[in-house]
Chains A and B, each alone.
Chain A
Amino acid sequence: MASEDSEPQRVLSGESVESWDMKRHASSAFKQQRLPAWSPVLSPATVLPVFLVTGAILIPAGVALLFLSETVGEHRIAYTYCPQYFQENRTFGERNCAVVIAETNETCHCAYNFSLKRSYRAPVFIYYQLSNYYQNHRRYVNSRDDYQLRGKLYDRVSSYCAPYDYDDEGRPIAPCGAIADSLFNDSLRLELRWLGHPDNETEEDAEEQEEQVAGRAAPPLDVPLPMDVPVLRTGIAWPSDKQRRYANPPGNLTAALAGFAKPRSWRRHVYELDPDNEDNNGFVNEDLIVWMRTSALPKFRKLYRRVDHSREPFADGLPAGNYTLHVEYNYPVASFSGSKVFIVTSTTAVGAGNQFLGAAYVTCGCVCMLLGAMFVALHLRYRQAAAFMVTVERETPYL
């Protein structure tokens, strides 16, 4: 009975027979982790050309970018504390508009004369820039009702809109929320006063000093001057926003919004935002859409208007000459030490003027070149050393 060396009785041997070959896994390269591999060995000799080539590409690219951004024309006018200007009698008031708006909460007018020493190539855009303005505040960012903005009107608005959700009579506000309520409502009008040729520029024009006195009229050419620079109020928002994120309720806009109050800070209803273009009213008004895309930083610029290049003399862009900026000052920022800047600018192939990118390219390229040069030195030194070592005799005794 007793058998030596015999295997102990296997009670479940049947099962193990069944699973024969099941436990053994395929010997594919993947499963056995024997895939062909590439292991980069970083030595000066291999890295050197990469660095030099990278440098050689980056530096010219950076220079090109810098050059491009140089060609961009940009004119800025900070008008936060602009003096009140009475259009009727063309005189300036005692106070600046910041004070006027704070005290009376009435529209304040002001005007700036400026000249462009060279013409800006089309397309030309007009921006407004706000600073010390926290559009990124956590509550502010959320304070909107996305459904309402898509034209789905309900009596109840999103709780995120509070405290800009209902007016004193309990009517829901449309559009509700802090963002919409604080819509930028200055109106900026650009007037061409004098169309000058680049050769005729005077020395003081070159300095681009803002002239306080209007009416030093220049000889008109073939266009009646002064004339307003024609601008487009559409095409300034993201197409996706306009098409998919914002929509008006179906039917008559005014009727649909009958039960809704206008935001408290607004002077007009949402369906009256663009008096000229019926389609640019309501929630799809592009000024509103642009404003609703909250900015990430407290200093930001937003697209205000596009110059309409379909009419002379603006077909090629904004011609050099003397201009007047007329501001209908409604938007108070002085209370929180904010500032407002009017910007007129052209663009390039790589977007608006951007010195940083070009500078970064050049810097990076220079670093690459420098390191490349260093590796050349390293390589030369250590290659020599290695060669020296190989000449050591194999039979050299070691002790």
Chain B
Amino acid sequence: MCDWRRLPPTLLRICSRGGRWWRQTFRPTPLTDEDVETTSGITEEVEGGLVEHRIIFVNRPQPSKYCSNHISTAKYNMLSFVPSFLFEQFRRYSNIFFLFIALLQQIPDVSPTGRYTTLVPLVFILSVSAIKEIIEDVKRHHADNEINHRDVEVLRDGHWLWIQWRNVVVGDIVKVHNNQFFPADLIILSSSEPQAICYIETSNLDGETNLKIRQALPDTAHLLETKDLTQFTGTLECELPNRHLYEFTGILKETNKQTLPLGPDQLLLRGAMLRNTSWIFGLVVYTGHETKLMKNSTSAPLKRSTVDKLTNTQILMLFFILIVLCLLSAIFNEIWTKEHARTDWYIGIDEMINLNFGYNLLTFIILYNNLIPISLQVSLEVVRFVQAIFINMDIDMYHEESDTPAMARTSNLNEELGQVKYIFSDKTGTLTRNIMDFKKCSIAEQIYTLADNPNDTQLVKNLQSGHPSALYLREFLILMSVCHTVIPERSKDTIIYNAASPDERALVRGACLFGYVFDTRTPHHVEISALGTRERYEILNVLEFTSSRKRMSVITRNSAGEIKLYCKGADTVIYERLSPDGQQFREATLRHLEEFATEGLRTLCCAVANISEEAYEEWKNTYHKASTSMQYRERKLEDAANLIENNLTLLGATAIEDKLQDQVPETIAALIKADIRVWVLTGDKQETAINIGYSCKLIVHGTPLLILNEDSLDSTRETIARHSSEFGDQLGKSNDVALVIDGKTLKYALSCDVRRDFLDLCVSCNVVICCRVSPMQKAEVVELVTSHTKSITLAIGDGANDVAMIQKAHVGVGISGVEGLQAACASDYSIAQYVVVTVCLKAGLVTNAWTWLTHLAIWGSIAMWFIFVAVYSNFWPVIPVGAVMLGMDRMMCTSPVFWLGLILIPFSTLIADVSYKVIHSTAFKSLTEAARESEIRKTDPGNVIMRETRHSPLHAIGQLSRFTWHGTDEDRITSPLCCSHHRNQCRFYTRLTETARLLKNVRSVFSFNRRSATRVNMEVELSHGFAFSQEEGGAVTQSEVIRAYNTNLPKPGGM
């Protein structure tokens, strides 16, 4: 399938050519000259550069050997472990330095210290890291193995064999069943569905929620049985493996037949999943690391925390200081030696052999090597390791249902977690569950909700009791059950709905729950069971959904012969098509729409129109002409549809919930409270994305939206500049504005000269939503922020399309559990649910409380020192080290001076520290300390907050908002107390924030009134929560799909 928006023009041309070719062959017409040209064009290329192509022989052994389907995401294998591990380790300056010192110490007579004082700790560090790496890599190997050992059915020598994924080779014919992942990149040959179509879910690859349709070539669609397949011979030529997900060109040459072109419509990518299709037969073209998915995965970069980078640079600096010190020391040593050599007879320097400068320098380097603390590395490493264990053990991050605890996959980023400033979140699977549910509807000025039983619902009751609006209710339900392109499938007693659009499926299921069960579709009819009575509607026309039309309609003829047009779509487009007398529910429905939208529900407006036989006949001709026109067909079809979608009568509106993950709004609220910016990067449509923004409270009602939808670099630059200037001096500061940008504009916005301005604009907005972005764009956005702001970024996602972004961010978090472990594998931390993020971030916060462990550590280390002295003082002569230390313990402990000093020194050294803290906490108390103190005194922290307000003059709005912010921050600390004991204070507090909010809004009115003009249309529409996702411009149009199905006929078994 071609996505028209993302491809460069040349490819677009190829695609459209392919597409047109498609449609023509689909209605069996002979090849036109143009098509021959196309085909020969490709062949010429083949001849021009034979090496550039891959030729696969079907049902014959392959002459050349291809990459195996075994994949490995692990960093090391048995052989490569030692060299690559060492390489990785010795990229740290400190390790190189320690190695250097350790080697120097092996030279006798140079070292003033023992031979192994550096080597032993170094080996210890390296082995700890090695063990850690091994454990982590073994896990990766396990994950890989799990994937490599999945089973798939493959046709070998005329028999179907279950083999493991890793054994699948290029040229194999595989059979993939419903809800299974494709084991490799396949060319679809045939499927269980009519006309060899199949549905695939690619949310793992590109994040789009709707299902996509792929269709086999009609020439191979007949290959429904094993014997057909075994007799099928030919060659398939295709381009070499590449990373372009939306591009594919190839030709299939069946023996003794004409060559056929293959395009992306026939390609089933690894990582996608077969949906709503019993089975497909596919020919393997790319395997293992040559699949498009694997080509898109980049090797995990070595992420290093800021502390790591800091220590690395500081170690460099220390090394410099060390060298200077050593040089100075060596020079002074030279001078001293010169002076003393003759006179200090007792040392015997005169007779010393090694008196040269370089030798002394080395000695000093060893002597001073403690300047670069090896213990720093060891303790950092150990602390992080323990932290990681604690993260893994944390019960707050444990997800009961999927039995997944949080997992810290790399422990060296723990300290970053507490400093995260930007969170980049994927939508599907991360924020939402990718489940759409019908929630409620508004019909004839009344809102109806679902009940357990259809007959219990108010709707059905009203319908049966002959409520005045019963007629509208009936029409509405018919619309819900008829106006769609869903394919029903009976399995035993239940009906399964296969739909390319999850919204439509939700609607049909909604209708079911109101007693209007849609169960049969034939090429020209649909049958429903309306509260038990069977009704049959002839589908005359389907006017498809496109994002520009924002609506879809179905023209039906009921059994009485009346022609009706059912239309559903965005409120804006429906409202402008209402007939003068069909506007009866206009205001009420609009109110309800707003209500739904506030709850974050996806809304659709529903309307119906009666069409007279004559009018229909006339329109039918127009439409037919449009659909057969050679030029501007799409525009003409649109115009034709416009003609009949008129004089509508408004029935009401539906509300569908895009189910969020648990507690997402709460989590987002907490994050926003913590002054963390949340960006949503999604492959989904703009409307959907904004809708989710509302439903997870990322955007609240009244938040101004900046929408960037431009189609050229110039206009993008201009728009960004305009918005930036409108911000004025608020640019770069945090503003309560949401920025929405789509992938196409993003492409321009990320180009070199604009990206800086774009970033400034983004940083000025509290919320940024990027929709229809490709995985690479996600990564680019993350990289932009990561490299240009000094803040720590965190990316969170669940699918393969998030991998790049996860790898680019400072901290990558993968959601594990549901499906596809790619994201979790690439991440630094994997968690089960979005809600866990807050807990995870809390892990990084500083604590200065003393637990018994702290006490243990403090007193224990003092005790350890004594024990160490006692032991070390008794080594000699049992262990041949430390002769000089012998008996030191006794001498020390019997010396009163030592004990007196031991008392004095801690006191005298702590005086300064304690006094500073006391003075600071008294005279320059921070609000946190004040609140905590009063909490300890069992008094009211509200007073403290109040006191603070007295201090800050509230005349300036800016300051007020800052204060509010302060307060919220505080609230987090004191909230339990605040809410349980001091209602009064809370009320006061709420009032205060409310005032602040109002004031802020006043400000936004002032600063944004100019912009509102450009934005108004979009906003009205969006505020009503319209969202609908369906594939556009796909391989097969929806109307063609429904015409192909007859659910009364059994499907082929595929054997």
Contacts and interface: CB of A to CB of B under 8 A. Distances in A.
A32 B922 contact: no
A5 B435 contact: yes
Interface in B273-324: 273, 275-279
Contacts of B178: 1-3
Interface stretch (B22-30, B96-104, B416-424, B943-951): B943-951
B933 A54 contact: no
B398 A35 contact: no
Contact of B851 (A5, A38, A240, A336): A38
Contacts of B851: 35-38
B392 interface: yes
Nearest to A19: B403
Given A245-B887, A351-B896, A2 B277 contact: yes
B921 interface: yes
A335 B853 contact: no
A269 interface: no
A170 to B, nearest CB: 16
Interface stretch (B243-251, B491-499, B682-690): B491-499
A99 interface: no
Given A2-B178, A12-B146, A360-B904, A398 B343 contact: no
A26 B395 CA distance: 8
Contacts of A241: 886-887
A58 B344 CA distance: 44
Nearest to B887: A240
Interface residues of A, number: 84
Given A4-B496, A33-B390, A351-B895, A182 B395 contact: no
Interface in A171-214: 178, 181-182
Interface string A379-399: 100100000011010100011
B179 A3 contact: yes
Contacts of B900: 61, 65, 350, 357, 361
Given A31-B390, A43-B933, A367-B911, A37 B395 contact: no
Nearest to B917: A42
A3 B403 contact: no
B849 A38 contact: yes
A389 B933 contact: no
B911 A178 contact: no
B852 A1 contact: no
Contact of A335 (B343, B886, B919): B343
B1047 to A, nearest CB: 12
Contacts of A140: 346-348
B918 interface: yes
Interface in A91-107: none
A394 B877 contact: no
Nearest to B498: A2
Contact of B179 (A6, A240, A390, A392): A6
Given A31-B393, A35-B852, A42-B921, A134 B992 contact: no
B348 to A, nearest CB: 5
Contacts of B949: 398
B573 to A, nearest CB: 29
Contacts of A357: 897, 900-901, 904
Given A25-B392, A351-B896, A38 B346 contact: no
Interface in B878-930: 880, 883-884, 886-887, 890-891, 895-897, 900-901, 904, 907-908, 911, 914-915, 917-919, 921-923, 929
Nearest to B146: A12
Nearest to A247: B877
Given A8-B273, A245-B887, A27 B395 contact: yes
Q: Which one of A16, A65, A164, A178 has the greatest number of beta carbons of chain B within 10 Å?
A: A178
Interface string B399-418: 00001110000000000000
A354 B897 contact: yes
B876 A2 contact: no
Interface string A37-57: 111111110010000001000
A39 B850 contact: yes
Contacts of B353: 162
A233 to B, nearest CB: 20
B1033 interface: no
A85 interface: no
A398 B996 CA distance: 11
Contacts of A139: 347-349, 352
Contact of A1 (B489, B848, B915, B992): B489
Contacts of B275: 2
A238 B892 CA distance: 11
A245 B880 CA distance: 11
A375 interface: yes
A227 interface: no
A382 B949 CA distance: 18
A24 interface: yes
A132 to B, nearest CB: 9
A54 to B, nearest CB: 6
B923 A2 contact: no
A239 interface: yes
Contact of B348 (A11, A181, A238, A350): A181
Interface in B136-163: 146, 149-151
Given A32-B395, A40-B850, A58-B907, A2 B276 contact: yes
A61 B899 CA distance: 13
Interface string A112-135: 000000000000000000000110
A64 B294 CA distance: 80
B162 to A, nearest CB: 12
B876 A134 contact: no
A332 interface: yes
A65 B904 CA distance: 13
A80 interface: no
B711 interface: no
A349 interface: yes
A2 B351 contact: no
Given A2-B276, A360-B904, A398-B954, A24 B346 contact: no
Given A3-B491, A43-B922, A238-B891, A364 B340 contact: no
Contacts of A146: 876-877, 880, 883
A238 B895 CA distance: 13
Interface in A242-273: 244-245
A360 B505 contact: no
A3 to B, nearest CB: 6
Nearest to A352: B897
A41 B932 contact: yes
Contacts of B992: 398
A332 B883 contact: no
Nearest to B181: A8
B988 A394 contact: yes
A150 interface: yes
B394 interface: yes
A1 B192 contact: yes
A65 B346 CA distance: 38
A337 to B, nearest CB: 8
Contacts of B922: 43-44, 378-379, 382
B936 interface: yes
A261 B970 CA distance: 81
Contacts of B632: none
Interface of B: 108-109, 112, 146, 149-151, 177-181, 192, 273, 275-279, 340, 343-349, 351-353, 363, 390, 392-396, 398, 403-405, 435, 489, 491, 496-498, 505, 819, 847-853, 876-877, 880, 883-884, 886-887, 890-891, 895-897, 900-901, 904, 907-908, 911, 914-915, 917-919, 921-923, 929, 932-933, 936, 943, 946-947, 949-950, 954, 984-985, 988, 992, 995, 1051
12 contacts: A4-B276, A4-B497, A5-B435, A39-B848, A41-B936, A133-B346, A138-B363, A139-B347, A240-B886, A360-B904, A364-B907, A394-B984
Given A25-B395, A43-B918, 12 more contacts: A4-B276, A8-B819, A19-B403, A36-B851, A38-B851, A133-B346, A140-B346, A146-B880, A150-B877, A364-B907, A382-B922, A392-B950
